[in-house]
Structure 1
Amino acid sequence: MTSKTEKNKGFRQFLNVIERIGNKLPDPFMLFVTLAVIVVLLSGFISLFDVTFTQPGSDEQTSIKNLLSVEGVRFMVTSVIENFVGFAPLGIVLTMMLGVGLADKVGLLEAFMKNTILRAPKRLITYAVVFTGILGNLAADAAFVIVPPLAAMAFYSVGRHPLAGLAAGFAGVGAGFTANLIVANTDNVLSGISTEVMQTIEGAPIVTPVDNWYFMVVSALVLTAAGGLVTEKIIEPRLGQYAGGLSKSFEETTIKEKKGLRNAFLAAVGYVALLVLFIAWPESLLRNDQGGMIPSPFISGIVPIIMLFFITVGMAYGITVNKIEDSRSVARYMGEAMKDMSSFIVLIFAVSQFIAYFEWTNIGSWLAITGASLLESVNLTGITAVVLFILLTALLNLFVYSGSAQWGLEAPVFLKLFYFLDYHPAFIQAAFRVADSSTNIVTPMNPYFVIVLAFMKEYDNKAGLGTLLALMLPYSLIFLILWISLFLIFVLLGIPFGPGITVHV
């Protein structure tokens, strides 16, 4: 007993250290502003030593460029707007949010999640909770405040421990955040940053939003099964029978909402059917000149295609539940969705400047080539190096919660480093996503951690930080181990991670 208590105390102290360090980090916007300033100063310092290097596949010597020089200052002054508006993730995410935002604002996504959880068969409710949480990333961070309390209520309503339901919901939303059955905003953000980084290398492949799709579909199903088993075999036995005296009731979906969901489903089926028919047509405009699909206008145009899908189902639902009364309603809801993206837009401004400076100075390429050479010198160029990258990212995620911010930090170096070792950028992006999600639910840097803790206190007023951490740690560790294993299975069996995406370039 003493040993167990000491271990728990040690783990809490470890998390307290993480929280203290994380709290000393500036806001992500200011973090990237600070990093941009560091790049400026670093470029001036390194340029004093006339550092040069050779790009793989080229005989031309490349030097570190000085941002404090006349040329550098002119670049910084004249490129600000281009760096921002030309940054790939910005346009992609805002375009996608026109559709997803409409579906969210009319209440479709919340009604779907509520209907899925509360109407699931009792024997499948655990898996429905985890699965809905994973799919919930379509609603972005809103899923953190929708799914866990609904899941707790669903468990409570069938006589199971509500904290087990809350834990399963939080695990699905947080640890499974980057997985999904369809292309989501996470795909757009990460692939946009990856493309921005790789386009500075001549002949390097771009990364599209569907490049991790196959892997993420399988991941969503595997994590659903894993989350359900962890809940039923580890979490619930540990919690035991709920003895709280709380009396709560919940609102099921109304008749109107059910009709809205039905009509949205019919609209979705119709949209997908028309799309499949159009693609199946041998001379389809969405195929390439050879009649193939990889690459094709369909792949490169996947974002507006998905946007139109969400507009279609969102309008079907909104009209049914009288949320959309005229054409002005559609524009108003889309505008509200854009307002929710304001913090993302502000962050992207800082990220875009940092990456532009990093690329212009050639510091990123220099570090990547130097790192690749170092790994080759110690014969660490195989899949072991990629697994170590996953573990490093999982650790860093404890301090930098935002996935886009963390990828903005890591991509300029690691994408190029592994590309010079002949790994496909989309493959390395998939590795990053495994780590980025798994530890979301055990870091105090997650802004929704405290919110979930507040939900927990509704059922157990004695619950604290340690209670929540103890519940979520099994999910985090098992998800990470299982996800890495799935990642390696894809590698060993040669399964593509997305359309045409293999391990190597």
Structure 2
Amino acid sequence: MANGATNLKPQLEQQRGILKWIETVGNKLPHPFMLFVILCLALMVISAILSAMNLSVVHPGKGEAVAVKSLLSVEGIHWILTSMLKNFIEFPALGLVLAMTLGIGLAEKVGLLTSVLRKMMARVPKAIVSYAVVFVGVLGNLASDAAMVIIPPLGGLVFLAMGRHPIAGFAAGMAGVSSGFTANLFIAGTDALLSGISTEVARTIDPNAVVTPVDNWFFMSASVFFLAFAGGWITDKIIEPRLGTYQGDRNVQFDELTLQENKALRHAGIAALVFVVILALLVVPEGALLRDPKTGDFLTSPFLKGIIPIILLFFVTVSYVYGRAMGLMKTSKDMPHYMSEAIKDMSGFIVLAFTAAQFIAFFNWSNIGILMAVNGAEFMKSVGLTGLPVVIAFSLFTGICSLFITSGSALWAILAPVFMPMLMLLDYHPAFIQVAYRIADSATNTISPVNPYLPLILAFYQKYNKNAGMGTIFSTMMPYAIVFLVIWLIQMAIWYYAGLPVGPGVYPR
């Protein structure tokens, strides 16, 4: 055992050296605001060059020719000027982050989050807290993108309350939420969304083919435990040792709750229970108000589509009850006051979101992402791999594409029509092909330069480390992305060679 540990130490030191290099180089880049400005200008020039070369591809899903459009053309300049505000307003992360900040920020400002964490930390063994944060993060994708705004910051507060580095806790939560996005013990909206695309494409080969939302359930359920263990280990052994001892203010105190805090917490707990019971009555019974009015289905219900406002209402409700019991909610001015204070903390995110929104919109409008994905897929077909290696190669290629196309459904709509027929003809089940796609698309989320939550991630980092930059983020999250992908590929190989079902009655071949 001692020899194994001795042999492992130089490897870990080498990994930390590589990560330090990534951080150093990355942080030499301009401020993220200016970096996105530079990237926008570069993209304008690149789009003009590619457009002048008349490059185009046939969109596999639509069957239509898609040409690269120049951002420096008359059409492009008109689009830039008329769409700039729209790009910002419709930036996917903007409304979600600000709305969730109103609720979570209120809970933080009145002290509810601190009290809950102090109560929770009194019972959670320190040895497993990293694993618990990753585990909760992976399950958090049930709340879709809202989990990104909730769980990583809470992970940071949990670590801070335990005297550990808050960025390590944030990274653990983000790894679970983002790199582990597609795994879960429950069926989520992602399962329904991707299976619909898979079924449509699979029927081009087999008219009777069906991929249901539960067809990846066994594989993804097992993934939760593998990723939670790996993510906790990475946090404890690689990430936190690199960060060192946190030198900032420890504004979360790990003290016993006062009698008033305990009383307020009980009131908030009762309010939370009442809220959940009412919500269950609106969701669970057949024909309930928040079920799909046409089909009665849960996965397409207004409940899941409106999960963000529901979570916001939940936080506002319990925070108000807690604040009232603590004597902090005395007049009608108090709640908006605390919410305003919470929004002020997000000013840096709002500034970064403006330029990040333009870059992502430029990238999508120019069709450069589609060009890269389709040409790369055609190259993969021309290589002529067979057996499991072709599925692994498909996963790795997906990982590269997902760095530039962050919408999982949009990328699957591009890649599925190219790869699914090819792999189905090699006798792979379409649900297994979908697994190969999902694991790579998920693992690389945390290191994507076009991740719409990158400004939010940086804003949190700079809350605890004012010198943090893009390099800090990528060097911190790189181990999670690589290890998660490797673990998933190994798991996929085990399922393939052992002939294990990826879902009820569904096998790889």
TM-score bucket of the superposed structures, by smaller chain: 0.5 to 0.7
1:116–1:128 CA contact under 8 A, matched in 2: no
Which one-letter code corresponds to 1:301 in the other structure? G
Paired position in structure 2 for 1:403 = none
Q: Among residues 145, 148, 151, which one is paired with 2:162 in the alignment?
A: 151
Q: Among residues 269, 274, 280, which one is paired with 1:270 in the alignment?
A: 274
Moved more, 93-102 or 130-139: 130-139
Change beyond 3 A, Cα 1:448–1:127: same
2:70–2:76 CA contact under 8 A, matched in 1: yes
Q: Among residues 289, 294, 310, which one is paired with 1:305 in the alignment?
A: 310
What is the CA–CA distance in structure 1 between the aligned matches of 2:413 and 2:324, rounded to whole Å?
A: 48
2:172–2:231 CA contact under 8 A, matched in 1: no
Paired position in structure 1 for 2:259 = 255
1:364–1:413 CA contact under 8 A, matched in 2: no
Task: Give 1:88 deviation, angstroms.
Answer: 2.7
Residue 418 in 1 paired to residue 415 in 2?
Answer: yes
Task: Give 1:24 deviation, angstroms.
Answer: 2.0
2:399–2:441 CA contact under 8 A, matched in 1: no
Residue 29 in 1 paired to residue 33 in 2?
Answer: yes
Task: Give 1:49 deviation, angstroms.
Answer: 1.6
What is the CA–CA distance in structure 2 between the aligned matches of 1:135 and 1:488, rounded to whole Å?
A: 26
Q: Among residues 81, 98, 110, which one is paired with 2:85 in the alignment?
A: 81
Gaps of 5+ in 2: 138-147, 189-199, 202-215, 242-252, 421-432, 449-456, 467-474
Residue 364 in 1 paired to residue 369 in 2?
Answer: yes
Which one-letter code corresponds to 1:151 in the other structure? M
What is the CA–CA distance in structure 1 between the aligned matches of 2:350 and 2:35, rounded to whole Å?
A: 15
What is the CA–CA distance in structure 2 between the aligned matches of 1:483 and 1:271, rounded to whole Å?
A: 37
Alignment of 1:205-284 (within 5 A): 251-284=255-288
Q: Among residues 172, 175, 178, which one is paired with 1:175 in the alignment?
A: 172
Change beyond 3 A, Cα 1:449–1:67: closer
TM-score (norm 2): 0.65
Matched residue SS, 1:53: strand
1:390–1:434 CA contact under 8 A, matched in 2: no
Paired position in structure 1 for 2:382 = 377
What is the CA–CA distance in structure 1 between the aligned matches of 2:259 and 2:41, rounded to whole Å?
A: 56
Paired position in structure 1 for 2:104 = 100
TM-score (norm 1): 0.65
What is the CA–CA distance in structure 2 between the aligned matches of 1:268 and 1:49, rounded to whole Å?
A: 60
CA offsets 1:368-413 (integer angstroms, 9 cap, x no match)? 21112122222469541464368769xx9xxxxxxxxx77779799
Task: Give 1:326 deviation, angstroms.
Answer: 2.5
CA offsets 1:77-96 (integer angstroms, 9 cap, x no match)? 11111111122322222222
Task: Give 1:4 deviation, angstroms.
Answer: 7.2
Task: Give 1:33 deviation, angstroms.
Answer: 1.7
Change beyond 3 A, Cα 1:379–1:298: farther
Residue 318 in 1 paired to residue 318 in 2?
Answer: no
What is the CA–CA distance in structure 2 between the aligned matches of 1:250 and 1:297, rounded to whole Å?
A: 40
Task: Give 1:35 deviation, angstroms.
Answer: 1.6
Matched residue SS, 1:287: coil
Residue 114 in 1 paired to residue 118 in 2?
Answer: yes
Matched residue SS, 1:62: strand
Paired position in structure 2 for 1:131 = 132
1:129–1:151 CA contact under 8 A, matched in 2: no
Change beyond 3 A, Cα 1:93–1:145: closer
Matched residue SS, 2:273: helix
Which one-letter code corresponds to 1:302 in the other structure? I
Count of residue pairs brought into register by the alignment:
414
Paired position in structure 1 for 2:396 = 388
CA offsets 1:413-446 (integer angstroms, 9 cap, x no match)? 966653554689999676444445699xxxxx98
Paired position in structure 2 for 1:466 = none
Gaps of 5+ in 1: 153-165, 192-202, 205-211, 239-248, 397-405, 440-444, 455-468, 497-501
Task: Give 1:275 deviation, angstroms.
Answer: 0.8
CA offsets 1:85-115 (integer angstroms, 9 cap, x no match)? 1223222222222222211222222221221
Moved more, 9-18 or 84-93: 9-18
2:398–2:437 CA contact under 8 A, matched in 1: no
Matched residue SS, 1:65: coil
What is the CA–CA distance in structure 2 between the aligned matches of 1:357 and 1:228, rounded to whole Å?
A: 37
Task: Give 1:41 deviation, angstroms.
Answer: 0.4
2:172–2:235 CA contact under 8 A, matched in 1: no
1:96–1:307 CA contact under 8 A, matched in 2: yes
What is the CA–CA distance in structure 2 between the aligned matches of 1:255 and 1:16, rounded to whole Å?
A: 46
Change beyond 3 A, Cα 1:95–1:431: farther
What is the CA–CA distance in structure 2 between the aligned matches of 1:132 and 1:254, rounded to whole Å?
A: 26
2:118–2:161 CA contact under 8 A, matched in 1: yes
Paired position in structure 2 for 1:294 = 299
CA offsets 1:307-350 (integer angstroms, 9 cap, x no match)? 11111222222222223222221111211222222222222211
